[in-house]
């Protein structure tokens, strides 16, 4: 294992998601319950963004009403890159990419989580910097 390994080994294919209309309180409670620092925000089956712990902390700092504020107010909006055109693509990689490439993309993009695309345009996963670190040091 190491930097040249595929990120496939680090991917969580059982991603946690939240609905576009859910409150920030619901999002925070879900992050705590599932022990995840990022949630994929969906409108039906469509990915419309990612809500991370950093996004939550920013909303806390701004003193938003957690019950009245929906996740779209604080999330990082993006569209999953597929065969159709996107206006604001998510930071994502293909599951066959190396740990080194994933780390480089995270560093350039300033993110700690990447969406991972599977073989079909609907199958997505999530990988964190911690997940990659576990592989990189072995």
Q: Which domains does the chain have, with CATH numbers?
A: 7-136 (3.10.580.10)
Q: For 102-119, how does the pLDDT look when each residue is reduced to its tens digit (9 = 90+)?
A: 999 889 988 888 888 766
Q: Classify residue 88 as exposed, middle or buried by CB count within 10 Å of its CB (0-12, 13-18, 19+).
A: exposed
Is the confidence at residue 83, as pLDDT, over 80? no
Residue 29 CB partners (closer than 8 Å, separation 6+): none
How many of the other CB atoms lie within 10 Å of CB of 19?
A: 13
Mean pLDDT on 24-47: 93
Is the confidence at residue 121, as pLDDT, over 60? no
CB 115 within 8 A of CB 90: yes
pTM higher than 0.85, yes or no? Answer: no
Q: What is the pLDDT of residue 32?
A: 95
**How far apart, in whole angstroms, are the C-alpha atoms of residue 48 and residue 58?**
19
Is the confidence at residue 122, as pLDDT, over 60? no
Q: What is the pLDDT of residue 23?
A: 97
What region, left, alpha or beta, does residue 31 occupy, with left being phi > 0 and alpha being psi -120 to 50 degrees? alpha
């Amino acid at each position: 294992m190491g930097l040249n390994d595929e990120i496939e080994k680090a991917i969580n294919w059982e991603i946690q998601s939240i609905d576009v209309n859910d409150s920030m309180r619901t999002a925070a409670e879900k992050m705590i319950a599932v022990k995840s620092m990022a949630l994929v925000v969906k409108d039906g089956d469509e990915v419309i963004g990612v809500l991370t712990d950093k996004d939550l902390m920013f909303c806390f700092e701004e003193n938003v009403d957690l019950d009245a504020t929906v996740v779209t107010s604080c999330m990082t909006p993006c569209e999953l890159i597929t065969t159709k055109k996107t206006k604001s693509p998510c930071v994502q990689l293909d599951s066959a990419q190396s740990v080194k490439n994933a780390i480089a993309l995270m560093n350039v993009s300033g993110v700690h989580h990447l969406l991972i695309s599977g073989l079909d345009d609907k199958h997505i996963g999530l990988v964190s910097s911690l997940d990659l670190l576990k592989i990189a040091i072995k």
